[in-house]
């Protein structure tokens, strides 16, 4: 067991003002794997003051110098990839092979991409008699989740620092170890004191203090819609900018007129993707919309995928799906599975209870429901577990209506008979990202949602711009 007994403020590892600690649990065996400081509001006050003091010199540093620091951090993440991905697999349950590629590979890309943008971005532009200047917003409070912990940290911290902002980071207390490893890397890179600060603790204490701090100019939050609303309310007291990346209940429309092979590919691929990271993904395609005439065919294909998934230790050879990240999350997901059964959905794979032989660890069976209508709880609320619902539709207009009948709008997908038809349907879906005919994930495309899935965008140039103010000089 590892004991982290300090937080990181103003370029130094320092003791928290509080004396309490938080236990971090290994998702595979339910044992304590680490303890971290339970930070306080006064810790946030110190961190915000340090970030505010560092902002003037960091924001005026030549952008090539900022890029060098970010590239150095990215290189150091490469060197520690195995160590970091192993910790994240224990924290979140993701299979180790995927953790290397996703949980650490994507953050490396973010630091490298942010470095490139720091150098290439045009911060000034002449418009008529005015000079339009883009300037860093100031101190950014970054509040991040546990499902893709380092990826979400990097999506905020890397791009904020690249733009010239300084940061105060509060990682999730469920998966904080990677944040300490990043802080160690940043310390070794000799980043100027105060540019990056780490305060661990709970949302109601540390998160709220960050949201309320008058020294923090912007909040970038990823988490549940419920928590995001609280962040926005608290942040409004100081009229700070708030960027939110929240929940989702994304629809995967399996189009009409697909030949048998393409239909099977779409159903089986969509089912497998619904179980990525044990379903702990905000952009998860958790509603599969299927032509009513082919529902029985879809059921057979989806059930075969779900029943063939190897659930187990993330470090074991061949494991596809590991445990959920916490006991609370496991219990929440099982509650939704029971709710689906109570509301009359047809259970075709999985169900409540742990998979056979996996009594230790936060494991849940990959579960598929069919004959779901969009009024059911399991069709409307974000489950955040390995649960897929099949919803029949009658005609593509009905499918689009069902897809848009959600308070969320984070992601979506369309599998159509041809690309042009797929794009036409995708344009009608009110959501931030849509995958067309299995299009590849692009880590440099903007990520964010419509409606209650959030405000603003992360990653790439659009994510970089979130951390900039606009000033016009009349000449």
The model's pLDDT over 150-185, given as tens digits with 9 standing for 90+, comes to: 999 999 999 999 999 999 999 999 999 999 999 999
What CATH number has the domain bearing residue 457?
A: 3.40.605.10
- Is residue 412 within 8 A of residue 434, CB to CB? The reply is yes
Would strands 450-451 and 408-409 be described as parallel, antiparallel, or unpaired? antiparallel
> What own/partner pairs with CB < 8 Å and gap ≥ 24 does 183-186 have?
183/8, 185/73, 185/76, 185/77, 185/80, 186/8, 186/73
CA-nearest of 360, 356, 334, 329 to 347 is 334
The CATH number of whichever domain residue 346 belongs to comes to 3.40.309.10
Tell me what the mean pLDDT of segment 410-437 comes to: 97
For residue 126, the Cα-to-chain-centroid distance in whole angstroms is 36
Are 156 and 47 within one domain?
yes
| Predicted pLDDT of residue 359 | 87
* Beta-carbon contacts of residue 90 (< 8 Å; ≥ 6 apart): 26, 27, 28, 33, 314
Q: Are residue 290 and residue 160 in the same domain, yes or no?
A: no
Choosing from 38, 208, 245, 458, which is the catalytic residue? 245
What Å distances lie between residue 299 and 336, 368, 375, 388, CA to CA? Answer: 20, 9, 20, 11
Kindly give, in sequence order, each residue whose CB lies less than 8 Å from that of residue 162, ignoring residues fewer than 6 positions away.
66, 67, 70, 114, 115, 117, 118, 464
- Residue of 282, 382, 458, 466 marked active site: 282
Place of tokens 């300090």: 6
Q: Tell me, what's the pLDDT at 309?
A: 94
pLDDT digits (tens, 9 = 90+) for 451-464: 999 999 999 999 99
Does 384 share its domain with 276?
yes
Same structural domain, 361 and 427? yes
DSSP 8-state symbol, 456: S
241 with 256, same domain: the answer is no
32-53 pLDDT, tens per residue?
999 999 999 999 999 999 999 9
- Give me the DSSP letters along 408-437: EES-EEEE-SSHHHHHHHHHTS-SS--EET
How many residues appear in the chain? 475
241 pLDDT more than 90: yes
Report the share of the chain in percent with pLDDT over 70: 100
Q: Is 142 a catalytic residue?
A: no
Angle at 102 (CA atoms; ends 100, 103), nearest 5 degrees: 75
Percent of the chain surpassing pLDDT 90 = 98
**Are 64 and 105 in a shared domain?**
yes
**Rounded distance between C-alpha atoms, residue 466 and residue 397, angstroms:** 35
Give yes or no for a contact between 6 and 37, defined as CB atoms under 8 angstroms apart.
yes
Q: Are 320 and 210 members of one domain? A: no
How high does pLDDT run on average in the chain? 96
The mean per-residue pLDDT over the stretch 373-392 comes to 97
Q: How confident is residue 364, by pLDDT bands cut at 50, 70 and 90?
A: very high
Residues 207 and 238 in one domain: yes
* Pair (193, 219) in one structural domain: yes
- Is 154 found in the same domain as 281? no
* Residues 290, 169 share a domain: no
Q: Is the pLDDT of residue 273 over 90?
A: yes
Q: Are strands 251-254 and 32-37 parallel, antiparallel or unpaired?
A: unpaired
Domain match, 179 and 149 both: yes
Quick one: pLDDT band at residue 1, thresholds 50, 70, 90? confident
For residue 291, the enclosing domain spans 251-448
**Is the Cβ–Cβ distance between 142 and 161 less than 8 Å?**
no
- Whether 299 is a known active-site residue: answer no
* pLDDT (tens digit per residue) in 331-342: 999 999 999 999
- 299's enclosing H/E stretch is helix 295-308
> What is the tally of structural domains in the chain?
2
Q: Which phi and psi (to 5°) does residue 19 adopt?
A: -110, -5
pTM, 2 dp: 0.95
pLDDT in tens, 77-132: 999 999 999 999 999 999 998 999 999 999 999 999 999 999 999 999 999 999 99
Rounded mean pLDDT of 245-254?
Answer: 97
């Amino acid at each position: 067991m590892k004991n982290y007994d300090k937080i990181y403020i103003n370029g130094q590892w320092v003791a928290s003002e509080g004396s309490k600690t938080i236990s971090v649990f290994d998702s595979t065996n339910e044992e304590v794997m680490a303890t971290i400081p339970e930070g306080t509001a006064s810790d946030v006050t110190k961190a915000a003051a340090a970030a505010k003091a560092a902002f003037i010199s960091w924001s005026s540093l030549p952008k090539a110098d900022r890029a060098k620091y970010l590239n150095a951090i990215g290189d150091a993440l490469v060197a520690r990839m195995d160590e970091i991905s192993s910790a994240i697999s224990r924290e979140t349950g993701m299979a180790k092979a995927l953790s290397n590629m996703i949980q650490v590979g994507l953050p490396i890309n973010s630091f490298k991409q942010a470095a490139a943008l720091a150098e290439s971005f045009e911060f000034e532009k002449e418009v008529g008699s005015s000079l339009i200047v883009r300037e860093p917003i100031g101190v950014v409070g970054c509040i991040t989740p546990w499902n893709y912990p380092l990826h979400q940290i990097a999506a905020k911290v890397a791009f904020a620092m690249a733009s010239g902002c300084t940061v105060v980071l509060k990682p999730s207390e469920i998966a904080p170890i990677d944040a300490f490893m990043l802080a160690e890397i940043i310390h070794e890179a000799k980043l100027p004191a105060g540019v990056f600060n780490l305060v661990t603790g709970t949302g109601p204490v540390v998160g709220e203090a960050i949201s309320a701090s008058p020294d923090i100019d912007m909040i970038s939050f990823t988490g549940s819609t419920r928590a995001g609303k609280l962040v926005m309310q608290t942040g409004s007291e100081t009229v700070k900018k708030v960027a939110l990346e929240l929940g989702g209940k994304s629809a995967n429309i399996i189009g009409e007129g697909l030949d048998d092979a393409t239909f099977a590919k779409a159903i089986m691929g969509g089912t497998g993707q619904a179980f990525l990271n044990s379903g702990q993904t905000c952009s998860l395609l958790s509603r599969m919309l299927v032509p009513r005439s082919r529902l029985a065919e879809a059921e057979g294909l989806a059930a075969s995928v779900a029943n063939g998934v190897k659930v187990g230790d993330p470090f074991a050879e061949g494991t596809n799906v590991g445990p959920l990240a916490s006991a609370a999350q496991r219990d929440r997901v099982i509650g939704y599975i029971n709710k689906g059964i109570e509301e009359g959905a047809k259970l075709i794979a999985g169900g409540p209870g742990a998979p056979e032989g996996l009594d230790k660890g936060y494991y849940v069976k990959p579960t598929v429901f069919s004959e779901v209508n969009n009024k059911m709880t399991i069709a409307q609320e974000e489950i955040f577990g390995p649960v897929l619902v099949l919803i029949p539709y009658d005609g593509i207009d009905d499918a689009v209506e069902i897809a848009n009948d959600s308070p969320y709008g984070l992601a979506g997908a369309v599998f159509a008979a041809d690309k042009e038809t797929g794009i036409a349907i995708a344009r009608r879906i009110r959501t931030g990202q849509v995958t067309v005919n299995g299009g590849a994930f692009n880590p440099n495309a903007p990520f964010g949602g419509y409606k209650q899935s959030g405000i603003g965008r992360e990653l790439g140039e659009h994510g970089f711009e979130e951390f900039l103010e606009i000033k016009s000089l009349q000449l």
